[in-house]
Amino acid sequence: MDGPLRQGEERIPHYVNRAFLTFNVHHGGIFIHDRGSKCYVGGQVSYSDYEDKNKVSLLDLDEIGKKVWFTEAVEFYYKVPCTGVFKIIENDNDILDMVKCIKDRKLDIFLVIPNSSIDDLEDINAGNWEWDSGTVPKSGITIEDGNMHIVNEPMQSCSCRRWDLTGIPCEHGAMVIVENGGQPEDYVSLQSNHQNTRSKLDGLENQEEGKQMNSVM
């Protein structure tokens, strides 16, 4: 798809061409191994519409990565529907296998920083980490009093949502910025925040409304 990725709700366009589909692009999160299975946590989802399943390539995935500000090395995975299995995309054969997993004109793909997985979800939830506070280098993961937060420095975002809503790095974002050799004050973006806060709040409100509707149903 040309242009920026679509934000907001998961909404598949009405495709006339049967080759078109939407990629649900998960980015800014990490893989966690929990009781022998792998799950993807944190981050956010953007949408790449009008992708052609007959023409998609590794170069297309790289372009998607650039649109969510992944300019360095990043790994791409797709999720096999109904099984929950994540498979890495490394070559053209993987692309062909991925295309076979398209269901309902959409497919979930996941962008992950290499070597950023966490091995034990129970340790994090219980606070049984090797330190109470700190960062996992180059991963965007911070631990504060045993609680995990995921920071996407290029997107100026944190799973605690404070950076997203204020335009000022939260304490977790500041930890990651300093760990990567930067200065938190260089990431203050009040002007862009004024323009973006309303749309982000609307997105959060829509998510809450969706949760309430699901609970009623």
Are the C-beta atoms of 84 and 108 separated by less than 8 Å?
no
Residue 191: its pLDDT value, please? 52
CA dist., res. 133 & res. 127, Å (int):
10
Over residues 6-50, the pLDDT tens digits come to 887 778 889 999 999 999 998 877 777 666 677 787 778 899 999
Are the C-beta atoms of 145 and 132 separated by less than 8 Å?
yes
Residue 96: its pLDDT value, please? 93
pLDDT band at residue 138, thresholds of 50, 70 and 90?
A: low
Which domains, and CATH codes, for the chain?
Answer: 20-112 (3.10.20.90), 121-193 (no CATH)
Burial class (CB in 10 A: 0-12, 13-18, 19+), 181: exposed
For 66-80, 121-135, 186-200, which range has the lowest pLDDT when averaged over its residues?
A: 121-135
Residue 132: its pLDDT value, please? 44
Residue 81: its pLDDT value, please? 79
19 vs 67, which has greater pLDDT?
Answer: 19
For 28-32, 70-74, 142-146, which range has the lowest pLDDT when averaged over its residues?
A: 142-146
pLDDT band at residue 217, thresholds of 50, 70 and 90?
A: very low
Residue 21: its pLDDT value, please? 93
Sequence letter at residue 196: N
pLDDT band at residue 141, thresholds of 50, 70 and 90?
A: low
Residue 202: its pLDDT value, please? 56
Over residues 75-128, the pLDDT tens digits come to 899 988 777 789 999 999 999 999 999 988 999 999 887 766 665 444 444 444
Assigned token pair, 154: 């290029």
Residue 122: its pLDDT value, please? 47
CA dist., res. 191 & res. 209, Å (int):
28
CA dist., res. 54 & res. 99, Å (int):
8
